[in-house]
Every structure is written in C-alpha cells, then in structure tokens.
C-alpha cells in the first residue's frame, strides 16, 4: 500500500462541491473514479475539508492510499488526464501511511472576493460576489474583520445543519484588502464551521454598507445566535487557498 | 436620432465571436436584439473590430444609433439587464451622429495570455493558452516581439480568407512580460489583419521553445509568406483590451 498527499485546484462552477452526492458532479467522485480506474479497485479520497457547491479551491489537500506504488509525478499525470479541465492535481507527494488530510490539518486559509461596482465584470461572474455600487466602506470592514481574530465561539456564524462538538475556533488572520473594484477578505484559522466564512462575509458587507458599525461583529460573537448575523454570501466568491500541516 | 459610443466587455467562451453568424450566439446579435427590444425597431450595432469565436474583450467599442434619445447611464442599465452575464456594456457616452466605431478607430490594443507550466491552472483554462513546461525562453521571446514594432507588411502573419486593401500596419508596441507561469504578450497598432495576433503569438512561442532564433521574426516579415510563420495560437488566450479614437 502507498499513501499520497495531493494538492488539488478546482473551479467549483457547476460542481456540487467537494463531497460525493447522490446527484451531480463532485470533486471527490471525479478523483475517486480516476484513482479507481488507475488502481483497478475502489478507492477512497479524503479531503481536508468539504467545500460547498460552487466554491473553488486553489489548494485543497486530499489523502489517498493505493494498492500499487507509483512515483508521485507519474501519478499526478495519470490522474490529471482522467479529470475534466476544471479539476487538477497541482502537486503530489509520498506520505506516511497514517497521513489523513482532514484529521491532520492544522490550519486552513480561505479567500473571499467581492466585486464592488455598478456593472459586474463578466470575467468575475463565477469568481466573485457582485455587490453593486455605491462603494463599500473598506476601512469599516477592515476594522470589523479584525474583531474576529483570536479564540472565539463562532456559533453566530455557523450554518444550520452542523453537528460539531464545539463551536470554538482560533482565527489567526482576518483581514480585508481592496484594489479598485475588488475587495478581498482573507482568513486563516485552525478550523471553520459550516458556512462560517460566507456568513462572516455577509456580515462584513453589512458593515461596509454602513448599516452596522464595526463593533457589531464583536457583539455578534458574544450573542451566540445564528439568526443575528448578516446573510450568507454566495458560494462563487469563496476560494479554499491552502491547508497547512505540521 | 441619437448616436452612442459603447465600451463592451465579454467572456467569449462558447460564443461564435463578435459578428452575427447564421448559427451560434454572437456578441453583435446579443446587443442588436437587446437594443431592438428597447428601441422598438431593428437596430444595427457596429463594432470596432471582429473578434473570433472564443476570443474575449475587456474594451471592445461599438457604435449604435437609436430612434429615441436616452441618457447613457440609463441606456447602459436597460441593455445590461437584457444581456447574459457574459456580456456587459461597461460604459456608454453620447457621440456625434457621424461616429463610426470601426472607421474612426485609430489604435487597438490586444493582450495574449500563455500559461507555461506542466499542469494547467483550472481557472485559466478558458483565458490562456496552455504551453506545457519546460519553461519558454522569455528573453528570446521579448527580443523577437520587438522586431515587430514599426511599419511593416504583415502578409506573413495574415490568416487565410482575408480581403484587405493593404497588409501594411504600424505596430506601436509589441512586448512580452512574464510573472511566474503567466507570460503576457501586449501589442498595440493602428490595425490588425485576420488572425494576426494569434499568428504572431504562435511564432513567438516557437522562438520561446528555442526552435527558432529571435531574428526569425524579422526574416518572416520580409518573406511575405503566410505559410512561413508558426501555428495560429488558440483563441481563448486573446483579449481585445482597448480601442482608441481621436
């Protein structure tokens, strides 16, 4: 048996997300089918985290164990030719037999992209949330984002249908940047609850619109109430950037 | 009657190009149908230049004359809601009755994008030409590109099926830039022949691969032979950036 660590990039447009579903095309199913064809038996591919339908990844990480050993560059090529162009293994490496992409993940980084202009850029329509002009208050959003750094109970920003043991997470970075019409939210943490990044972004946009003050985010954290936050931002603006391991 | 100058951006993926065709969806037809609905009669939309199937535009320019006058921001909004998300009017302005987007154009600028890496980036698959590793010789390509600046007969770089009075064009800028895997070719000229930019790029890539020396481009210009140049680069890497007027 040989275990591999894979880094996977995918354009989530039109996909049902990472996880295999009864209907629709998932990244996991595409990978598992490609590996099964190569390995001649059913193969399970484990992702560092689920991404929702329409969410993208530049650096999702997955683990897989195969019956036959194969050098990683050859493996990468053999799988990529079996995948649609929207999904690519961008690196592959040998891993110890115990390696588990989800359990061993220490930090994840996400980026959320907002296009803030009257007219949506056609090239951003599947890769950013269109928040029409007027201009959002980037300074207020930046200040609001900073309140999320540290150790907090993120119940308020948790989507419905979660079943996790604790809602406490440590956020190492939570920052807003803006270049012309493009506003970018970058967040790194030890873990994320369901819809957490998209709920945070919906909340930051409320602050950017001037409907709430930056301190509202701090109050929301203390409220532990999922109904208190802003709307869930749409999936197409979200990118899983990277997953870090020890 | 009221004449307008429009700047149009479009993602050319899946479109048959600018010009209305018997079959398939063209940008011109999408715009003409939207304007006809607004103006209550058939409308002709004239583009500064045709773009081929799959070619993109950030700043195509078009002229249109309508029966009823309307302020440009309102016009832009009314048309954009009638267009698919892949096509957007990004600015609209009143123009003199004589304005003609094609005849009055003085300069056009194109960009061609090349993704030079073993694995194609899924997010670039419709917006760049994948030229697999090994790395292209960017210095040689830069030198080759420079040979195209000036007044030349571009017969060698003209696609089949052209019917133009002269193949002489003035190229004001022809330059290569590279950032990591992305190689960018920028070219500005007073006009371009059919497939000219894509034929130039196919030729520059031959130089980048080391199969030809940079001086080959100078020799090709003097050859006046369409069969001498490199292959036509694929359409998805090409963007019409802007069109300038006096």
Enumerate residues 6+ apart whose C-beta is below 8 A from A109. A173, A186, A187, A188, A240, A241, A242, A243, A244
Closest CA–CA distance from residue B57 to any residue of chain A (Å): 10
- Selection from B25, B106, B37 nearest residue B67 by Cα: B37
**Cβ separation of A85 and B119 shorter than 8 Å?**
no
Distance CA A176, CA A142 (A): 5
Give, in order, the Cα–Cα distances in Å from B117 to each of A11, A136, B48, B62, B182: 18, 37, 34, 36, 9
**Cβ separation of A122 and B80 shorter than 8 Å?**
no
Distance CA B235, CA A20 (A): 34
Enumerate residues 6+ apart whose C-beta is below 8 A from B245. B61, B104, B105, B106
pLDDT score, position A165: 83
Per the structure block, which two tokens stand in for B148?
């195209």
Distance CA A154, CA B59 (A): 44
pLDDT score, position A161: 72
The complex's ipTM works out to 0.93
Distance CA A45, CA B241 (A): 42
pLDDT score, position A114: 98
Closest CA–CA distance from residue A30 to any residue of chain B (Å): 14
Per-residue pLDDT for A163 more than 90?
A: no
DSSP 8-class letter at B233: P
Which tens digit of pLDDT belongs to each residue from A60-117?
999 999 998 999 999 999 999 999 999 999 999 999 999 999 999 999 999 999 999 9
Nearest CA in chain A to B89: A119
**Cβ separation of B123 and A11 shorter than 8 Å?**
yes
**Cβ separation of A86 and B9 shorter than 8 Å?**
no
By the 10 Å C-beta count (0-12 exposed, 13-18 middle, 19+ buried), A26 is classed as: buried
Residues of A in contact with B119 (CB under 8 A): 76, 80, 88-90
Task: Find where tokens 């892949």 sit.
Answer: B86
Q: How many A-B residue pairs are in contact by the CB < 8 A criterion?
A: 46
Q: How far is C-alpha B131 from the geometric centre of its chain's CA atoms?
A: 20
- Selection from A87, A66, A121 nearest residue A14 by Cα: A87
Which tens digit of pLDDT belongs to each residue from A214-235?
999 999 999 998 888 889 999 9
Cβ count near A205 (within 10 Å) = 24
Nearest CA in chain A to B91: A119
pLDDT score, position A200: 97
DSSP 8-class letter at B120: P
Give, in order, the Cα–Cα distances in Å from A132 to each of A94, A121, A135, B57: 46, 11, 8, 22
**Cβ separation of A10 and B122 shorter than 8 Å?**
yes
Distance CA B238, CA B112 (A): 5
Nearest CA in chain B to A73: B118
Helix (H/G/I), strand (E/B), else coil: A218 = helix
**Cβ separation of A119 and B56 shorter than 8 Å?**
no
Distance CA B127, CA B53 (A): 13
pLDDT score, position A195: 95
Report helix angle A215-223 to A196-208, nearest 10. 140
Helix or strand run (H / E) with residue A189: strand A182-189
Enumerate residues 6+ apart whose C-beta is below 8 A from B171. B148, B149, B150, B152, B187, B188, B189
Distance CA A132, CA A159 (A): 25
Enumerate residues 6+ apart whose C-beta is below 8 A from A233. A112, A129, A198, A199, A201, A202, A205
Closest CA–CA distance from residue B158 to any residue of chain A (Å): 29
DSSP 8-class letter at A62: E
Which listed residue (B11, B52, B104, B186) is catalytic? Answer: B52
Longest CA–CA separation in chain B, Å: 58
Longest CA–CA separation in chain A, Å: 58
Which tens digit of pLDDT belongs to each residue from A164-216?
789 999 999 999 999 999 999 999 999 999 999 999 999 999 999 999 999 99
Residues of A in contact with B82 (CB under 8 A): none
Active site residue B104: no
What is the sign of the dihedral through the CA atoms of A136, A140, A142 and A145? negative
**Cβ separation of A9 and B123 shorter than 8 Å?**
yes
Residues of B in contact with A123 (CB under 8 A): 9, 11, 56, 127
Query: Taking a C-beta distance cutoff of 8 angstroms, is the pair A110, A49 a contact?
Result: no
Closest CA–CA distance from residue B171 to any residue of chain A (Å): 28
**Cβ separation of B127 and A123 shorter than 8 Å?**
yes
Residues of A in contact with B120 (CB under 8 A): 85, 88
Give, in order, the Cα–Cα distances in Å from A108 to each of A16, A188, A192, A197, B142: 21, 6, 8, 11, 39
Cβ count near B192 (within 10 Å) = 20
pLDDT score, position A157: 95
- Closest partner CB to A123 (pick from B11, B80, B119): B11
Enumerate residues 6+ apart whose C-beta is below 8 A from B11. A122, A123, A125, B56, B86, B87, B126
Per the structure block, which two tokens stand in for A184?
């970018």
Nearest CA in chain B to A84: B122
- Residue length, chain A? 246
Residue spans of chain B under pLDDT 50: none
Which tens digit of pLDDT belongs to each residue from B148-190?
999 999 999 998 776 778 999 999 999 999 999 999 999 999 9
């Amino acid at each position: 048996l040989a275990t591999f660590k894979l880094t996977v990039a995918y354009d989530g447009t039109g996909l049902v997300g990472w996880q295999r579903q009864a209907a629709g095309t998932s990244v996991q199913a595409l990978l598992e089918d490609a590996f099964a064809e190569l390995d001649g038996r059913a193969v399970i591919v484990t992702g560092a985290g689920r991404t929702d339908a329409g969410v993208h990844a530049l650096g999702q990480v997955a683990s897989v164990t195969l019956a036959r050993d194969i050098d990683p560059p050859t493996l990468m090529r053999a799988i990529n030719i079996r995948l649609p162009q929207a999904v690519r293994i961008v690196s592959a490496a040998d891993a110890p037999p115990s390696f588990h992409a989800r359990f061993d993940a220490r930090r994840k980084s996400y980026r959320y992209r907002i296009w803030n202009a009257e007219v949506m850029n056609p090239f951003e329509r599947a890769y950013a949330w269109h928040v029409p002009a007027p201009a959002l208050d980037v300074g207020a959003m930046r200040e609001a984002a900073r309140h999320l750094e540290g150790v907090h109970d993120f119940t308020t920003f948790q989507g419905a249908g979660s079943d996790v043991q604790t809602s406490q997470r440590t956020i190492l970075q939570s920052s807003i940047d803006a270049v012309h019409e493009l506003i970018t939210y970058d967040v790194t943490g030890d873990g994320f609850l369901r819809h957490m990044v998209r709920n945070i972004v919906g909340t930051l946009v409320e602050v950017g619109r001037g409907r709430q003050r930056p301190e509202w985010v701090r109050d929301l954290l203390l409220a532990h109430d999922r109904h208190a936050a802003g709307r869930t931002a749409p999936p197409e603006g979200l990118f899983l950037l990277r997953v870090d391991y020890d």
